[in-house]
Amino acid sequence: MKKFLLFLILSLLTLQAQYQIKSKHLISPEINIGYVDSCANFWMPTWDVIRGGFYTNISKSGGVLSSWGTNKDMLTQSRNAYGLTRAYQMTGKLEYLNRAKEALEFMYEHAWDNEHGGWFNSLDRDGNPNNINQNKTAFYQHYALLGIAAYYEATGDTSALNWLMKGYQNNEDKLWDNDPQYFGYYDTVSRNWNTKSGKSFNATVDAITTHLLHLYLMTNDQKYLTKLELVAQNMLEHLVESMDQQAIGFAEEYNSMWEINENETLTLMGHVLKTAWCFARIYHYNNNEEYLSAAEKLIDDVLAKGYDNELGGPYKDYDRLTGEMQMWNNPDTAKAWWQMEQAVVAGLQMYELTNNEKYLQMADETNDFFMKYFVDHEYGEVYENRTRYGDETWGEHKGSGGKAGYHSIELGYYNYLYGSFFLTHDLTPLYYSFESVDYDRTINLNPVALTSTILMISDVFLDGQFYSEFDPEIRTLKIPAGVGGEFEVIYEATIPVGVDEPEQLTIEFELLQNYPNPFNPTTTIKFTIPNVGDEYIRPLQTRLIVYDILGREVATLVNTKLQSGNHEVKFDGRNLSSGVYFYKLDVDNIYSASKKMMLIK
């Protein structure tokens, strides 16, 4: 008992010394469902119900900024399709998935260059290219695949797969430079692909985030990992290699032979952080320590030179040679919505890999600032820019040539997944809609870049009924010919990341269950508070909350201090509808666990 007592006291002291998370979107990841739902709902009325397509330029309240133009850029369609697909996966609302499909169909019909291949970006309200002979850039060719890849992941749609592979192969055949010395994606090409020039951050790193990593996670095909490693080599040998010559950040623009473009001195903190996030994700699949070291160097550079250590969040843009912040006639220092997202996702991913709390602190502080000052709690969605103190700067529009429903929703998506997998270890549901086909399918389910030893599938439901055809450890779903519908997949992190919990505490907390399950209309939830012995007795603050599948609190069963021992409480669901519910136990910042139960009437 004395040995256990010492273990407990040391554990409590360690907890007190640890960084205390303040962002509720990390403390309770399920509330990101409501945030994402609000963002997705904002974009739905920006769809043109007569001609089709999402308008690009959108005001604070969701109206079309016609004075900016009534264009419907390809980038807007792809990014909104991505956001609405992720919103469906988190909420289960099919209207989001259906609209995402329509946005992609608008892209397929209007944005593809049928004569030369590749994607147009700038489209008018009828879907016609505004400048048909305009050069094509890797940035737009990569980002066209973003929404397609997400939609295919959530649906297995064969049309989406065909377009994904069509765009991917076009990039590989026409954008990729096969020169063994200067390999990499070209930055800019002529419409007919005859003239190619430049290499850049966008041409390189954006290929990972838009489709290459998605393709590998969905297929486990080694050829995609090989290409990811080649792109990572570009990042190491050019972007990271250039850092020691700069006052801050890295060189972002190069010629075709990877020589730095000295006329372009801009470096963006979001690009530096995004590069770190990409290194960290690829690291999971080859354990190349150079990737981890590079990610640390990149983030540390931002934290030391381009980060608001008082209020949280990275600043916007810098001159890489002088280290001076680029103010762009702004009276105050500025922060951008997408750069804030990169601080969150890079920080959480690196905390998972290193257990270094400075990365968790960066993610948490940035999250807290973002949710307070970027989110519009009146109309929904987020603003594009805020000052250092969270005030308006450069307008309060919500949509533009570079802004749609991508980064705002992706932040909520990864808050939800990373927060659950890395921090709270809650059960985490995602929705998928797979139509029936006339052949058997085995589908890889890898929503994030993690090794199979960390993440597994707990349960699967098909149209609300238990479904058993899945492999929990390698995360595959088996669907026989003729079977289809909505699959609700429940994920769980099997190993607390970076936490060495005393074995005794694990044993004491082993009992958390309810019976009967499924139930109608009542069930009894049983749990245990640890026995800490006569030498150190104190009640522990205990909360037992029931949530619905959207993360909304439906009942508080316990919210008080309890002594050690076995406890039980009855949950009455007679006023609730049938479905899946979760009950979460939190005990005095020592332990947190969630379990699933099914109400069937």
Q: 336 pLDDT band (50/70/90 cuts)?
A: very high
Q: What angle do CA 74, 79, 82 make, to 5 degrees?
A: 130
Instruction: Give the model confidence (pLDDT) of 412-462 as tens digits.
Output: 999 999 999 999 888 899 999 999 999 999 999 999 998 777 899 999 999
Instruction: Give the model confidence (pLDDT) of 25-63 as tens digits.
Output: 999 999 999 999 999 999 999 999 999 999 999 999 999
For residue 590, what pLDDT is reported?
A: 66
Q: Is the pLDDT of residue 356 over 50?
A: yes
Burial of 178 (0-12, 13-18, 19+ CB in 10 A): exposed
Strand partners, 431: 488
For residue 531, what pLDDT is reported?
A: 61
Cis peptide before 516 (omega within 30 of 0): yes
For residue 593, what pLDDT is reported?
A: 77
Q: Count how many residues are written for the chain.
A: 601
Q: Is the pLDDT of residue 498 over 60?
A: no
For residue 277, what pLDDT is reported?
A: 98
Instruction: Give the model confidence (pLDDT) of 572-588 as tens digits.
Output: 999 998 878 888 888 87
For residue 517, what pLDDT is reported?
A: 87
Q: How far is CA 18 from CA 11, 330, 338, 356, 418, in A?
A: 11, 37, 28, 11, 19
For residue 538, what pLDDT is reported?
A: 64
Instruction: Give the model confidence (pLDDT) of 144-163 as tens digits.
Output: 999 999 999 999 999 999 99
Rounded to the nearest integer, the mean pLDDT of the chain is 91
**Crossing angle for the helix pair 74-91 and 94-110, to the nearest 10 degrees:** 160
Instruction: Give the model confidence (pLDDT) of 370-417 as tens digits.
Output: 999 999 999 999 999 999 999 999 899 999 999 999 999 999 999 999
Q: Is the pLDDT of residue 335 over 80?
A: yes
Q: Is the pLDDT of residue 306 over 50?
A: yes
pLDDT more than 70, % of the chain: 92
Q: Is the pLDDT of residue 12 over 60?
A: no
Instruction: Give the model confidence (pLDDT) of 125-148 as tens digits.
Output: 999 999 999 999 999 999 999 999
| Residue 196 in tokens | 């190619």
Q: Is the pLDDT of residue 238 over 90?
A: yes
| Residue 158 in tokens | 């064969």
Query: What burial letters (b/e) apply to 91-120, b meaning 16+ CB within 10 Å?
Result: bbbeebbebbbbbbbbbbebbbbeeebbbb
Average of per-residue pLDDT across 113-123: 98
For residue 589, what pLDDT is reported?
A: 64
Residues 6+ apart with CB under 8 A from 106: 52, 53, 54, 72, 77, 127
For residue 540, what pLDDT is reported?
A: 80
3-state secondary structure string across 35-50? HHHHHHHHHHHHECCC
| Residue 323 in tokens | 């280290």
Q: 507 pLDDT band (50/70/90 cuts)?
A: very low
Average of per-residue pLDDT across 91-119: 98
Q: The pTM is what?
A: 0.84
Stretch among 72-86, 239-253, 581-595 having the lowest mean pLDDT: 581-595
- With CA atoms as reference, report the closest residue to 146 among 135, 127, 126, 160: 160
For residue 537, what pLDDT is reported?
A: 53
Q: 8 pLDDT band (50/70/90 cuts)?
A: very low
Q: 511 pLDDT band (50/70/90 cuts)?
A: low
For residue 453, what pLDDT is reported?
A: 74
Q: 185 pLDDT band (50/70/90 cuts)?
A: very high
Q: Is the pLDDT of residue 2 over 60?
A: no
